[in-house]
Structure 1
Amino acid sequence: MSASSRLTPMQRLRDALVAVVVALSLWQAIVWLSGVPPFILPGPWRVAVTLADNIGLIADHALVTIAEVLIGLVFGALLGAATALHLMVSPAARRIALPIMVFSQAVPVFALAPLLTLWLGYGMASKIAMALLIIYFPVVSTFYDGLRRTDPGLLDLARTMGATPTRTLLHIRLPAGLPAFGSGLRLAAVYAPIGAVIGEWVGASNGLGYLMLLANGRAKTDLMFASLFVLAAFAVALYALVSWATRRMTSWSRESLDTL
């Protein structure tokens, strides 16, 4: 067991707070020593004051972005999991869909954002679609790899006991692949906010990405930083929540396999 895995939650929180304090101190030191104007690089205190003064405005836009990210994450995870399971049970899908999926990754997902906005409009739909697309392939690839790498001994045992392919998939391959699925979900938790914000940058009338563009155009760098920190805080909280859920899921999968 590594030293980091032996840390208690309080120790991890303490280390995170120390890292934040050090980063803010370095940031403030750079502002003081360089004498850079606030409209280029505001200090952390100025950003904090701006956040407090505009908390209502930022919260309204944050709720839109959070909704886009969460809906995109849920649908992307469900669609990715269903695709991986289908690839596992269908040789035809593996022959046809896998090459198409790999080829699709040669096209930068960000380049599709203007098209999604054109097709789906400036509302939430295009941002949800962007978040879904950016997390779909990582979820599919990690979960599919986990399903394929099931312990051969367990598969031999299932065949010996006359288990059907469906029962083998549900009771052996699926629990064995859940840790890999959890890894895909952690990647999705990181990428989904990026997809939603990129969509808002291309075309939107609300959301944190839109607010950052608006603040940048009006040289309100402190408001842009405040919006960015709210987005970062949400992304960290989402990643922590998904990590906790995947640990529980991995624990359940090990218990399921141990009962075989």
Structure 2
Amino acid sequence: MCFLLFLVGKAKIWACFQEERDFAGIAQQRERGRQLARTTSNPSKSLGEQAYARIRHEIISGVFAPDQPLRLAQLQERCGAGFSPLREALTRLAAEGLVVSESMRGFRVAPLSLDDLRDTMETRIFVEAEALWRSIERGGDEWEMRIVSSLHALGRQNERTQPDDPDSLAALEERHRDFHVALVSASGSRRLEQIIDNLYLGSVRYRMPSLSNMPSNPSRDLMAEHGAISEAALARDAARAVGLLTAHYRLTADVLSLAHSERMARTAGR
């Protein structure tokens, strides 16, 4: 715990540095935005990116339901993009496992199932265990401070989040993702990071509908679980950190499985 408190001080310094860097980057981001707005040489590409981002967000947030057909004509009206960029976006989403492409039937949202949830979480354990182990071996001061600052941000957002406020729930999920990304951010493998990101997308589809209606479990302290994982990682105790991460994901899988089953039962009863 003393080690964590020491790193909190370091994290504040890191946060100040990040803030300065963020301010410096605002002008660059605005200029890139202006350049993008002026770009006319390949408008299909920018429209494809926009369509991809919107459809991806609406699948993850549940606006598009599991198994829902994704009609190009409806998406064209919704996204303001033509068929070519929409097909590009849907093909990318199919590669990520969020969309299913069916011959002669077009695209639909990938289904949700208990088997898929368990498979996704167990695969996350398998992949992230390796990434965490490598990060503990390779990570330096920046990695340590990123873990501490992301844990702090997660705790702050957890305190202010209201179950009936979709915006605060979305912010909580973003802080939660930031923490888990920070843990494995020193793995040194971009391929591994891409796999982890895709697996996260697969699991968050089960998390988002459950955040405002999560089954009560007073014996579980999520912030304590995250704190224990980070403390073990920062102490360079890879075996303990991986064990805690594994237990954390399996408990989460149990809770999400129950929530998914209850949701399916309510749907069937309508």
Q: TM-score, normalised by structure 1?
A: 0.28
If each structure's helix is expressed as a fraction of its own residues, which one has the higher value?
Answer: 1
User: Between Structure 1 and Structure 2, whose CA radius of gyration is higher?
Assistant: 1
Highest RCO, 1 vs 2 (Cα 8 Å, sep ≥ 6): 1
